[in-house]
Structure 1
Amino acid sequence: MQILIKNSKLKNSSDIGNNSVPFFEQIYPFNTETVQFSKKTINGRYPEQGFAANSELSSIYYVESGAGYICYKDNYHELSKGDAFLFQKNDRYWLEGEDLVLIVTKINGKRMY
């Protein structure tokens, strides 16, 4: 099992065909079926319209830096450095931020990359 991924080995969202989204994602491709780890930088609203939801995974979003808002279950929450948010499978949400840097851990799902 791979236990260290150097910065030079990261996969970027632009490398896997995700060029039309308002964020940049760095994917740490650990060889595991149960946990996925990435770093996202959001500038603007994600998704641009409607809501995002993951039908296969639960996720924890940790705010590394920046600020923004999240709309979750029709409630708005301000996000700032050090905050963490848990999304269960199928939870619908949207995010908006300026230089909002998130560490994202996806749990108990199928391999995506």
Structure 2
Amino acid sequence: MSRPDLQFSRRVQLLLDPATYQRVADEAEKTGRSVNAVLREAISARYDNDEEAAQRRRSEAARQLLAYMEASSDEEPYDPADFDEDAYYENYWSREMKRLDAEKASQSS
């Protein structure tokens, strides 16, 4: 996300380990932005407290959610009518009893 309205007046030298740089470079390539733009956005996301920054974070979260939903669109949609409450609690309490038995066994050892 390029910000042509901003005038940059400070130069910063940042040393990154190869793996971190590669993650940033991969993001830059994937999104068609420069490495600098990705780093500026990451810094803004962490330190900006204004409404514009909050809106950018919400927009990015929405884009990620939509991408996830599109990726899983071939799955059957969840139908709450299919929820079997008895089976859910039976499974829950079965796991809980196993956990308590294991805890009790480890205490007696």
Same fold (TM > 0.5): no
| Relative contact order higher in (CA < 8 Å, ≥ 6 apart) | 1
TM-score, normalised relative to structure 1:
0.20
Structure with greater strand percent: 1
Structure with greater helix percent: 2
